[in-house]
Structure 1
Amino acid sequence: MLCSLVSQAQAADVSNISKAEQSRIADLIFKNECNRKFECLVSWNDGEDFPSLGIGHFIWFPKGSNAPFQESFPDLMRWYQQQGVIVPERLSNILQPNQSSPWQNKAEFLQDENKPQIEQLRQFLADTQDVQASFIMQRLADALPKMLAIGQNQVEKDKIKHQFERVSASPNGWYALIDYVNFKGEGIKETERYHGKGWGLAQVLLNMDHEGNALRAFVSSAKQMLQQRVSLSPPERNEQRWLNGWLKRLDTY
């Protein structure tokens, strides 16, 4: 759900993030997700049931998918529409806001990976990185009211808001918040849980210490949440293989 449908009074104020800082954050996210590689702008990661696209590796479910995670690529397409971005005609058959991924599985994707339309899709995403950056910023703005809505009581709501404000006021704090919500979500979906335990931004904020350096407390809490996720994850997903990379990413905050 995009910000036009979220109360502006509740949304986090990202307006004080300069254009230069927005560009820096977007570039860091692209580095984190893809090491800035062009071919990575449309890819299908091992162990996943969906492709990932763009500088933020926005996920796009095939038709009939029951993946438990928050899908983000269709929201990006709606954001493009709101921003007046015209999809090239050669891509219009696959880039519709409510359309499922045209590939049902990784084998299908690999058959098409080097075909002209995928290269054109990569180029379109490369040419519109600034729009993706604004989408990522807006997702963070929208995250605060969504997280407050799932607070179990006023104490939880107050802690989420307080810790969000502490981190955002820290040097590099906006980068940490924006990257994490793009990386692991808001933590508001009931399906994004293992044994009832989530790992999104809301859970990280609720788990933070009140004392000391806010950014260090955020990183420490995020590491605990991701380590807990891996320990509770289904064995067949083999999430341990990703943990070291996740923790290194947090160290960039």
Structure 2
Amino acid sequence: MLRFPHFLILLLVFGVQGCMTVDSAPPPAPGGAAIRLNDADAAAIGRKIWQNECGGTVEGLTSWNAGEDFPSLGIGHFIWYVPGRPGPFQESFPQLLAYMGEKGTAVPSWLASAKGCPWTSRSEFLKEQQSPRMKELRQFLANTVSVQTGFIVRRLELSLPEMQKATSAATDKERLRQNFYLMASSRNGLYALIDYVNFKGEGIKPEERYQGEGWGLRDVLL
């Protein structure tokens, strides 16, 4: 297939170079989480995401972009909506907090009990940048980079079944799975998957195609 060389380029650039050896084990059997993320890889990948998304600064961990109705928090710019004002994007910050609860991560009490974003406007959010609560939030996010990375990896892996659903042939579904886990078996390869899907999407939405051709992660891996 014409798209297969694109996967080879990804594999050569990200999967087999860098500071981690590619796992030679076969791809995991279908079903269940299978990406193995150790502490060193979580920290290294998290630092890259932090640098790309927030400029690597602590201040960048709490942002509210002009023209938006919600703040973006953490290394992955996780969205947190104001109560009663949902938006078009998936709200991810509450999911992150739930994931942290699963992992036993200590969360500031005010944050754990919050029923939505406590700042109701961008101007209020910016005015509070040096408040004790905002400083505590930034420090909390800076201290939990590896946990945030684990959450991002979990969301990435959960996208694989959705990409397979958008794929018709059984042989293509299997090749998609094998290539996904081959890339994910190295630190650089896993980061490449995260980075690519962040900018190009999974490739399962109609708007991610043009004249029958797609550019999402699914299309690259096939």
Say if 1:187 and 1:112 are closer, same or farther in 2 by CA, change over 3 A: farther
CA distance in 1, matches of 2:198, 2:96: 12
Note if contact 1:11-1:142 (Cα within 8 Å) is conserved in structure 2: no
SS of the equivalent of 2:148 reads helix
Match of 2:53 in 1: 33
Note if contact 2:74-2:141 (Cα within 8 Å) is conserved in structure 1: yes
CA distance in 2, matches of 1:198, 1:134: 26
- List gaps (5 residues or longer) in structure 1: 1-7, 211-253
Instruction: Note the C-alpha offset of 1:185.
Output: 5.4
Equivalent position amino acid for 2:145 in 1: Q
SS of the equivalent of 1:197 reads helix
Sequence identity percentage: 43
CA distance in 1, matches of 2:128, 2:40: 36
Say if 1:9 and 1:50 are closer, same or farther in 2 by CA, change over 3 A: same
CA distance in 1, matches of 2:150, 2:221: 30
Say if 1:56 and 1:165 are closer, same or farther in 2 by CA, change over 3 A: same
Instruction: Note the C-alpha offset of 1:89.
Output: 2.8
Q: Deviations over 1:62-83 (max 9, x none)?
A: 2233422222111101001111
CA distance in 1, matches of 2:171, 2:220: 14
Say if 1:145 and 1:11 are closer, same or farther in 2 by CA, change over 3 A: farther
Note if contact 2:203-2:218 (Cα within 8 Å) is conserved in structure 1: no
Equivalent position amino acid for 2:189 in 1: G
**Alignment of 1:14 onto 2:35:** yes
Equivalent position amino acid for 1:197 in 2: E
Instruction: Note the C-alpha offset of 1:176.
Output: 0.8
Match of 1:219 in 2: none
2:160 to 119, 144, 148: 144
Note if contact 2:201-2:217 (Cα within 8 Å) is conserved in structure 1: no
Match of 1:68 in 2: 88
Note if contact 2:70-2:122 (Cα within 8 Å) is conserved in structure 1: yes
CA distance in 2, matches of 1:104, 1:156: 46
Match of 1:87 in 2: 107
Moved over 6 A (4+): none
Q: Deviations over 1:47-105 (max 9, x none)?
A: 333211112211112223342222211110100111112222354443xxxx3222233
Equivalent position amino acid for 1:126 in 2: A
Using the size of structure 1 for normalisation, the TM-score is 0.62
Say if 1:120 and 1:206 are closer, same or farther in 2 by CA, change over 3 A: closer
SS of the equivalent of 1:77 reads helix
CA distance in 1, matches of 2:126, 2:186: 43
Match of 1:176 in 2: 192
Using the size of structure 2 for normalisation, the TM-score is 0.70
CA distance in 2, matches of 1:162, 1:41: 34
Say if 1:198 and 1:49 are closer, same or farther in 2 by CA, change over 3 A: farther
- List gaps (5 residues or longer) in structure 2: 1-28
Equivalent position amino acid for 2:58 in 1: F
CA distance in 1, matches of 2:54, 2:141: 13
